């Protein structure tokens, strides 16, 4: 697989919930991804990197074994891998902010629940046996973890186990199966991972380059450029209201003495409430603009 040793190899999910989001992140970071006929790899035309398109469960192994220098995978899959291995060999180098979900314990709505103690001696069906076992061990609860590779939500109805532990995003699957969430076991989002073992300096420089671009993409998604006008006496209050903005630019307005234009990059979400507060503090002509690219 490592045909060209000077190129980075990035493992991403071939098809599934993270595959398009992973590609979109790399595209936003400036990668032109060739859609070749080869189903296992995709070449990046303008960066020395190839994508390896694989099952998400294989991504931590590929990265830990050095087959790929980098991988994009759900934090849940990485955690399950780490807890199943005697030594963790992947490092998270960026949290990616997509693919968010929560691994939750759940049971039929009608089942009694008196807190975590109710799990004692019970069976729990899950696709994440190591994470669930770890959760139980930490709380010194003896229970039986039953591994299922899919359709975990059916376990109570099929009398495989009265409890399940499964990923939840909207909660619709739990609702549709008459289940209710009881406890959060693990919060997850997609992460960029690298092997613990060092790689050639030139490749590490490419990793750093990619990481800078990804940080830029992540920061840009939340960030907005705000422009507004304000009288001089309101500037202090208005600057304090701008979310995540450092040192706004203040420019005098032409032919309006005592009035200024304020320009700022806000690195946190800008909500309507913020705009209303800015206005209440004397701001006018408030514009909020998207930022296309940013490098700090």
Beta-strand pair 123-126/284-290: unpaired
SS3 252: strand
Q: Which is nearer to Zn ion, 22 or 118 (CB)?
A: 22
Q: Which is nearer to ligand PRT, 53 or 230 (CB)?
A: 53
CA angle 218, 219, 221 (to 5 degrees): 70
Q: Which residues sit at the interface with ligand PRT, rule CB under 6 A? A: 13, 16-18, 55-57, 74, 76-77, 99, 101, 166-173, 188
Q: Which long-range contacts (CB under 8 A, 24 or more apart) does 131-138 make?
A: 131/76, 131/79, 131/80, 131/83, 131/103, 131/165, 131/185, 131/186, 132/165, 132/185, 133/83, 134/83, 135/165, 135/185, 135/186
> Measured between alpha carbons, how far is 261 from 3 in angstroms, rounded to an integer?
56
Rg, C-alpha atoms of the chain: 24
> Measured between alpha carbons, how far is 158 from 204 in angstroms, rounded to an integer?
50
State the minimum distance, in angstroms, from the CB of residue 282 to ligand PRT.
44
Q: Which is nearer to Zn ion, 130 or 279 (CB)?
A: 130
State the minimum distance, in angstroms, from the CB of residue 152 to ligand PRT.
7
Residue nearest to ligand PRT as judged by C-beta position: 74
The residue among 55, 45, 100 whose CA lies nearest residue 76 is 100
221 binds, among ligand PRT, Zn ion, none (CB under 5 to 8 A by kind): none
State the minimum distance, in angstroms, from the CB of residue 161 to ligand PRT.
16
Q: Which is nearer to Zn ion, 50 or 56 (CB)?
A: 56
The residue among 90, 77, 91 whose CA lies nearest residue 18 is 77
State the minimum distance, in angstroms, from the CB of residue 273 to ligand PRT.
28
Q: Which residues sit at the interface with Zn ion, rule CB under 5 A? A: 56-57
122 binds, among Zn ion, ligand PRT, none (CB under 5 to 8 A by kind): none
State the minimum distance, in angstroms, from the CB of residue 77 to Zn ion.
7
| 204 CB burial (10 A radius; 0-12, 13-18, 19+) | middle
Q: Which is nearer to ligand PRT, 140 or 170 (CB)?
A: 170
Q: Which is nearer to ligand PRT, 118 or 188 (CB)?
A: 188
17 binds, among ligand PRT, Zn ion, none (CB under 5 to 8 A by kind): ligand PRT
SS3 101: strand
SS3 80: helix
Q: Which is nearer to ligand PRT, 168 or 235 (CB)?
A: 168
Residue 263 tokens read as: 């320009």
State the minimum distance, in angstroms, from the CB of residue 138 to ligand PRT.
22
State the minimum distance, in angstroms, from the CB of residue 56 to Zn ion.
4
């Amino acid at each position: 697989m490592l045909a060209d040793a000077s190129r980075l190899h990035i493992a991403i999910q071939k098809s599934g919930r993270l595959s398009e989001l992973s590609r979109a992140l790399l595209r936003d970071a400036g990668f032109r991804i060739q859609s070749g006929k080869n189903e296992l790899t995709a070449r990046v035309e303008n960066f020395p990197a190839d994508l390896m398109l694989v099952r998400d469960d294989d991504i931590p192994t590929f990265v830990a074994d050095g087959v790929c220098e980098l991988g994009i995978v759900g934090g849940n899959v990485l955690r399950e891998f780490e807890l199943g291995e005697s030594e963790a060999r992947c490092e998270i180098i960026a949290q990616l902010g997509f693919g968010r979900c929560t691994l939750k314990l759940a049971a039929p709505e009608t089942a009694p629940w008196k807190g975590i103690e109710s799990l004692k001696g019970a069976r729990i069906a899950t696709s994440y046996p190591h994470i669930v076992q770890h959760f139980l061990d930490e709380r010194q609860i003896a229970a039986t973890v039953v591994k299922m590779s899919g359709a975990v939500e059916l376990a109570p109805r099929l009398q495989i186990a009265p409890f399940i532990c499964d990923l939840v995003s909207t909660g619709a699957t739990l609702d549709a199966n008459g289940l209710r969430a009881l406890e959060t076991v693990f919060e997850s989002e997609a992460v960029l991972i690298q092997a613990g073992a060092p790689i050639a300096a030139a490749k590490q420089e490419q990793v750093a380059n990619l990481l800078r671009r990804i940080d830029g993409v992540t920061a840009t998604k939340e960030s907005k450029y705000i422009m507004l006008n304000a009288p001089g006496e309101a500037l202090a209050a208005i600057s304090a209201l701008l979310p995540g903005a450092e040192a706004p630019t203040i420019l005098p307005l032409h032919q309006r003495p005592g009035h200024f234009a304020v320009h700022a990059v806000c690195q946190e979400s800008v909500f309507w409430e913020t705009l209303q507060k800015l206005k209440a503090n004397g701001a006018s002509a408030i514009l909020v603009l998207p930022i296309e690219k940013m490098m700090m």
